[in-house]
Amino acid sequence: MTPILMVLICLGLSLGSRTHVQAGTLPKPTLWAEPGSVITQGSPVTLRCQGSLQVQEYHLYREKNPASWVRRIQRELVKKGYFPIASITSEHAGRYRCQYYSRNHSSELSEPLELVVTGAYSKPTLSALPSPVVASGGNVSLQCDSQVAFGGFILCKEGEDEHPQRLNSQSHARGWSWAVFSVVPVSPSRRWSYRCYGYDSRSPYVWSLPSDLLELLVPGVSKKPSLSVQPGPVVAPGDKLTLQCGSDAGYYRFVLYKEGEREFLQRPGQQPQAGLSQANFTLGPVRVSHGGQYRCCGAHNLSSEWSAPSDPLDILISGQFYDVVSLSVQPGPTVASGENVTLLCQSWGQFHTFLLTREGAAHPPLRLRSEHRAHQHQAEFPMGPVTSAHEGTYRCYSSLSSNPYLLSHPSDPLELVVSDAELLGCRKSLPNDSGAELGFVGHRKSDIINEETGGNPATAEEGFLRNSIKLMSRDTGEEKTAEPRSEAGLRALLHCFDSQEKLRPSAHHKTRQIPRLANTHRITQWRISSAWAWLAWSWWSSGFCYLRLSTAREAPKMQPAGEQQR
């Protein structure tokens, strides 16, 4: 019986008892593997050899080492060119060729097929240097490394296992091994996804488990998305933040990446409304490593091309340095609209940069280099002419140029209030002992009216007075009440609001004005009932109280001097 297996040594043809066959006169057959030539241990695979229609018999050969497993295949399958393997092992790995016979003639040998068995060792790590984000036409290096002392590494492009790159490894004294592959050039019109394997030099067709898939991001030229962050770009360790990448270009998926990182995040897009798509990337609990510069890209469905990158967004981690930073403002925290102000950050520490933030601001923090003056480091942030858009709570931080994304603890908050010039002028006429924070009161009055009366102008005055001119602290939500220390201070405060409301248009910018605080019977009653708490406090602190206030509607002789004209 003619043996099915014939071994070729160094590709020489030695056919033994079949030497009477005239070799090489028929065209070479085709040899391939189904489902592929790179197979995980334990999986089935079939080698197929196909020649002309008049084939009488197929033979399968493995270079250097006999393939004893071929002898166990049914002859009927061999005649058809089928060589199945039910469960592949490392014993099946190798370099194969096939040949067929027809009427005492043999074909040429097929092209070689490398049958690779994976999963024999732990998986290596694949990373892009310096980053997986590569400009179109640029070059990138891919490093495959492992704690196993491999003799070499293989780099496979997803979908192109037929042409892997193979490199000998470099080794470390501690047993580590690695190899660096060059990929050039890249373009946004294709997908660039890779895996790598390690192998022992003595068994080059027995590979490790595959590395995790590494996809290169090659931004294109289509419309860039926008990138924003909530609650803000400055966060403390342990907090959570959400970066939102969105666009009106109808992108199907989004990717977020950090400059210098070896990985990026992908999310499917969602449509909160027609024509818009977005994806949320939640980071947290925040660690120091989250600090850095982020961008995002979008891509359409079934497209491998990414958009142009968004504008950069800096994420800053506070509380990384112990530094006492102070924040002050000139000429003061309450200024008239149109004036110029300067916010001053100061520190005793030798930090290179100061950052100024405003709660709820859409724009990134302001950053200035520090200057050394009067034994302190400082930076001046000029603003002006100021408008209501400049109002808010400001904080200052310091940082080092070596890592600009790590910040000190914040300064104490500073509340900047922009008020009308008429209100500030009225404030100067108040007695020094009034104790009223007039600028903040004037700023908050319309809000208090809306909160307490639902914006109804008919009850606006009554609601405002009934709530004793509440001050709502923006930082703590604590309610305060203006406490004039004299009847003159109280009356001057009321007169100031009265004058201010005459000049302020309604919230809807109509010609109707919020009712002025006229000296009516209703207001006088309010003064009698609402002032008692303040007067009791004054009586307790000064030893007497103004009982005359309870008869404010009586003859002028009962009123303090200077108030009779009211």
pLDDT tens profile 76-89: 898 899 999 999 99
* Total domains present in the chain: 5
* CATH number, position 329: 2.60.40.10
Q: What percent of the chain has pLDDT over 90?
A: 49
- Concatenating the DSSP letter of every residue in 491-534 gives HHHHHHHHHHHHHPBPTT--SPBPPP----HHHHHHHHHHSHHH
Query: Which of 105-114, 222-231, 300-309, 434-443 shows the lowest per-residue confidence on average (mean pLDDT)?
Result: 434-443
Claim to verify: residue 267 and residue 355 sit in the same structural domain: no
Q: Output 412 or 547, whichever has higher pLDDT.
A: 412
Residue 27, SS3 per DSSP = coil
- Per residue in 367-396, pLDDT tens? 999 998 888 899 999 998 999 999 999 999
Rounded distance between C-alpha atoms, residue 324 and residue 329, angstroms: 17
Q: Among residues 355, 390, 417, which one ends one of the domains? A: 417
Residue 110 has pLDDT above 50, yes or no: yes
If asked whether residues 144 and 111 sit together in one domain, one would say: no
Q: In the predicted model, is pLDDT for residue 58 greater than 70?
A: yes
Cα within 13 Å of Cα(413), Cβ side: 12
pLDDT in tens, 421-467: 655 555 555 554 444 444 444 444 444 444 444 555 444 444 444 44
Q: Is residue 140 part of a domain?
A: yes
CA distance 72 to 233: 68
Q: Quick one: average pLDDT of 140-144?
A: 95
- Residue 477 placed within a domain: yes
**C-alpha span between 118 and 123 (Å, rounded):** 10
Q: Is residue 287 part of a domain?
A: yes
Is the pLDDT reported for residue 526 higher than 70?
no
**365, pLDDT greater than 90:** yes
Residue corresponding to tokens 């790179």:
38
- Per-residue pLDDT at 14 exceeds 60: no
pLDDT at 173: 73
Average pLDDT on 525-548 reads 40
Find the domain containing 260 and state its range.
Answer: 226-317
Give the end of a domain, one of 172, 188, 216: 216
Residue 5 lies in a domain: no
Q: Confidence class of residue 191 from pLDDT cuts 50, 70 and 90?
A: confident
Residues 446, 353, single domain; the answer is no
Identify whether residues 231 and 311 lie together within a single domain.
yes
pLDDT > 70 in the chain, percent:
70
Are 159 and 112 in the same domain? Answer: no
Q: Does residue 98 share a domain with residue 133?
A: no
The 10s digit of each residue's pLDDT in 32-54 is 999 999 999 999 999 999 987 77
pTM for the full predicted model: 0.63
- How far is residue 437 CA from its own chain's centroid? 41
Residues 472 and 506 in one domain: yes
Q: Would you say residue 2 lies in a domain? A: no
Task: Decide if pLDDT at 170 tops 90.
Answer: yes
**In angstroms, what CA-CA distances link 164 with 134, 157, 304, 491?**
21, 7, 22, 89
Query: Mean of the per-residue pLDDT values for the chain?
Result: 77
Indicate whether 212 and 239 sit together in one domain: no
- Tell me, yes or no, whether 6 lies in a domain: no
Same domain, 272 and 211: no
**Looking at residue 161, what is its pLDDT?**
64
Asked if residue 7 is part of any domain, the answer here is no
- Alpha-carbon distance of 246 to 279, in angstroms, equals 6
Query: Is the same domain home to 326 and 409?
Result: yes
Of 118, 151, 167, the position where a domain reaches its end is 118
The pLDDT of residue 497: 55
Gap between the Cα atoms of 469 and 488, Å rounded: 16
Examine the domain organization and report whether 343 and 382 are in the same domain.
Answer: yes
Query: Is residue 221 included in any domain, yes or no?
Result: no
- Is the domain of 478 the same as that of 431? yes
pLDDT at 175: 82
Q: What is the pLDDT of residues 251-308, one digit of tens each?
A: 999 999 999 888 899 999 998 888 899 999 999 899 999 999 999 999 998 788 899 9
- HSE-CB for 397 with a 13 A CA cutoff: 26
How sure is the predictor about 144, in pLDDT bands with cuts at 50, 70 and 90? very high
Give the amino acid at 30.
T
